[in-house]
Homo-oligomer: A and B are copies of this chain.
Amino acid sequence: MPETNMLEKLTHKLAIKNEMIREGLAEALSTFLLMLFGNGSVAQAVLGRQNFGTFLSINLGYGFGVMMGIHAAGGISGAHMNAAITSANCVVGNLPWRKLPAYVIGQFLGSFIASATVFLMYYDALMDYAGGNLTVTGPTATAGIFATYPAPYMSLWRGFLHEFISTAVLVIGILAIHDKRNAAALPGTNALTIGLLVAGIGMSMGMNTGYAINPSRDLPPRIFTALAGWGLEVFTAGNCWWWVPVVAPILGSVVGIFIYNIFIDFHNRPLMEPDSGNEKGKQNVELVVSTELQNRM
């Protein structure tokens, strides 16, 4: 009985009631899982010299990471794990702008800590692989385990376009998977389905730019590598590539929402009298701007 009371009190002490902090924590944990599975699978393919992983296992690693992240935070924050999706949600009015910082800080922290964890877990392998040299380019480059770099043949603007289109496709897919007025995935299976969507993007649009399609997946690991020994070349490499996976996905997300609306959703809403001004009219307007882009179940 006394123990029970102590536990009750402890729970009440530890329980955070602030919704924004709770959502930030959820984004941190889910992005941590995404990045641990994702970057871990790249580390294994690179450092294992293709004997313990291939581009396919990298695609599946990010896919299963997304799946686990959605299970870990979908019911709390919507499991964005992606600053582009968070900002797109703010743009279309799904998420109040004041919540944006909590989401992005959570995602960046989770992503940064996951990079440090992969570094920690693979440190001996890293040392063994390149004899202690942490390089961004060259035959034993390892910076690509953490952040993305464009293929040598890619021009900057086409890389931008690539990330822009890939992210639009990601967002179209997420919207379709959740669209209950269309052919949504069965509730409770959308984590798997979105995971396979991300795996599919990696298999078909992954080679040229490394498919960041997500600022939270790319920038914090890049900062980590800058601090951990790879140096500032991580920002200058690829013709100063670093800002592309930050900016292009944000624009691509918004355009993805627009495309899904133009092709499907605008024409598929419950019909409503215009200018009625009543509650139902408001509800309709809300539908206009609140296409589901979160993984809330």
Residues of chain A having any CB pair with chain B under 8 Å: 4-5, 7-12, 14-17, 22, 25-26, 28-29, 33, 36-41, 43-44, 47-48, 51-57, 59-61, 64-65, 67-68, 70-76, 79, 117, 120-125, 127-128, 151, 153-155, 158, 161-162, 165, 169, 172-173, 176-177, 179, 181-189, 191-193, 195-197, 199-201, 203-208, 259-260, 262-264, 266-269, 272, 274-275, 277, 281-282, 284-285, 288-289, 295-297
Chain B contacts for A155, CB-based, 8 A: 124
**Is B4's CB under 8 angstroms from A285's CB?**
yes
Instruction: Tell which of A54, A70, A161 has the most Cβ of chain B within 10 Å.
Output: A54
Q: How far is the CA of A26 from the CA of B262 in the complex (A)?
A: 10
Can you identify 18 A-B contacts, CB atoms within 8 angstroms? Answer: A5-B274, A7-B285, A8-B275, A8-B288, A10-B288, A14-B266, A14-B267, A22-B268, A40-B204, A51-B55, A57-B203, A60-B200, A67-B200, A68-B173, A120-B158, A120-B161, A183-B295, A186-B188
- Beyond A60-B199, A60-B200, A186-B186, 8 additional contacts (C-beta under 8 Å) are A11-B266, A29-B263, A37-B203, A67-B200, A71-B179, A71-B193, A124-B153, A125-B207
Q: From the candidates B57, B179, B181, B201, name the one contacting A56 in the complex (CB within 8 A).
A: B57
Q: From the candidates B121, B158, B181, name the one contacting A162 in the complex (CB within 8 A).
A: B121
Q: From the candidates B47, B71, B189, name the one contacting A188 in the complex (CB within 8 A).
A: B189
**Is A71's CB under 8 angstroms from B173's CB?**
yes
**Is A275's CB under 8 angstroms from B52's CB?**
no
Output the least CB separation between A293 and chain B (Å). Answer: 14
Chain B contacts for A128, CB-based, 8 A: 153
Output the least CB separation between A187 and chain B (Å). Answer: 7
Q: How far is the CA of A289 from the CA of B70 in the complex (A)?
A: 24
Chain B contacts for A43, CB-based, 8 A: 204
Instruction: Tell which of A15, A22, A203 has the most Cβ of chain B within 10 Å.
Output: A203
Given contacts A4-B282, A60-B200, contact A47 B183 (CB under 8 A): no
**Is A267's CB under 8 angstroms from B16's CB?**
yes
**Is A76's CB under 8 angstroms from B184's CB?**
no
Chain B contacts for A264, CB-based, 8 A: 25-26, 29, 72-73, 76
Q: From the candidates B26, B75, B182, B203, name the one contacting A73 in the complex (CB within 8 A).
A: B182
Q: How far is the CA of A263 from the CA of B106 in the complex (A)?
A: 11
Chain B contacts for A17, CB-based, 8 A: 267
Output the least CB separation between A48 and chain B (Å). Answer: 5
Chain B contacts for A173, CB-based, 8 A: 33, 68, 71-72
Output the least CB separation between A278 and chain B (Å). Answer: 11
Chain B contacts for A22, CB-based, 8 A: 267-268
